Structure 1
């Protein structure tokens, strides 16, 4: 697969503000890595050896309990980045990352990345938003688990997905532009698929969402927000 690394770096909203010279430096030290469906991109506890930008396919970030129960934290789509926390704090990876389908990532090695930031510390301002986004998502998840019943937690997660992946098309409402099986949504919230299915059908019956195979369309965002506000 032929990839224009310049286009990948420039297209990402978190890095698009970088000076042209810095983009050139990042492009020079980056390498393309490819993974097959199910391959481990990195494992919890691995050394944080670099930043990874998804070029093709998807990556699932998750954690597992000792009995094998998976908590799906996030699905990473093309154009997004992972690994920035370990890259900046120097600690091991905190989650498992697995390829979904044939996957290609742009890898920026930590040593070269650190050297660039050391030489130009003013560049930290461009990478802090990455950490802020992950921190907001983490705090939102903790808040939901601690305080909200399932209907509110589901509404909260759908609204988060809408923020990052919502697109307008030629149909009513806003489509969450990612393949989102109910099983994955259940793993995001740490509940059974049956429980998620019941809640989604209730929302669909209320004309708040519309379901299709692996897809979710939001018809009434205000009503979804009310589901959350009712328990906040």
Structure 2
């Protein structure tokens, strides 16, 4: 949890439920709220000129959504869409800024969160530049596991579907499936009940 739920509620946050495929905000909306997922899964995406989805991230329980845009005078550069039925805390922008100004430890956590997202974007930018599918998927898995506590082999269950991994790495889903199978044969990953362990 980026900010404790009780703290957010004490300064005016309220809970809103979203159905699967329902937008939390859309590209070019003006940021008005701090969003933090209580439960569910949310994707950040937009579409390129050809109409193909560009997936930027998938966020889960306890993670915040789109907070970096609250510090700018502009609009959201991406869409935030619920992937599952989701319960989200919403705090008005002005109350969020006041909370950060009066709580330096919370401000530091938000800075860490934004820095982590920027690092993720940098890693993903490097992944897109390579033409080796295994290198792309391995770089994604290395990054995801780097923020996981347990570093033992096969201790990390990848939270993404093959389609989501394909969208994140710029590969087609068929290539992603074949590459993951090759990685399993090379003992880089294990697959149990269709879940990828790294």
Common topology (TM > 0.5): yes
Bigger helix share: 1
Q: Secondary structure of the equivalent of 1:63?
A: strand
Supply the RMSD in Å over aligned alpha carbons.
Answer: 2.4
Q: Which blocks of at least 5 consecutive residues in structure 1 are unaligned?
A: 1-11, 17-22, 219-232
Deviations 1:175-224 (A, max 9, x none): 3263x221111111112111111211110001111124552101xxxxxx
Q: Which blocks of at least 5 consecutive residues in structure 2 are unaligned?
A: none
Deviations 1:109-143 (A, max 9, x none): 1022223445x384533321121111101111112
Deviations 1:44-92 (A, max 9, x none): 1111112111111100111211322112121111011112111122331
Of structures 1 and 2, the larger Rg is shown by 1
How much does 1:96 deviate? 1.0
Match of 2:48 in 1: 65
Q: Does 1:90 align with 2:73?
A: yes
Match of 2:188 in 1: 208
Q: Does 1:192 align with 2:193?
A: no
With over 3 angstroms needed to count, the CA separation of the structure-2 counterparts of 1:116 and 1:173, relative to structure 1, is: closer
Quick one: distance in 1 between partners of 2:100 and 2:136?
38
How much does 1:25 deviate? 6.3
Of 174, 199, 221, the match for 2:155: 174
Check conservation: 2:127, 2:169, Cα contact below 8 A: no
Match of 2:92 in 1: 109
Quick one: distance in 2 between partners of 1:203 and 1:134?
27
Check conservation: 1:166, 1:177, Cα contact below 8 A: no
Number of residue pairs matched?
Answer: 196
Check conservation: 1:71, 1:189, Cα contact below 8 A: no
Quick one: distance in 2 between partners of 1:131 and 1:188?
19
With over 3 angstroms needed to count, the CA separation of the structure-2 counterparts of 1:128 and 1:138, relative to structure 1, is: same
Quick one: distance in 2 between partners of 1:210 and 1:87?
40
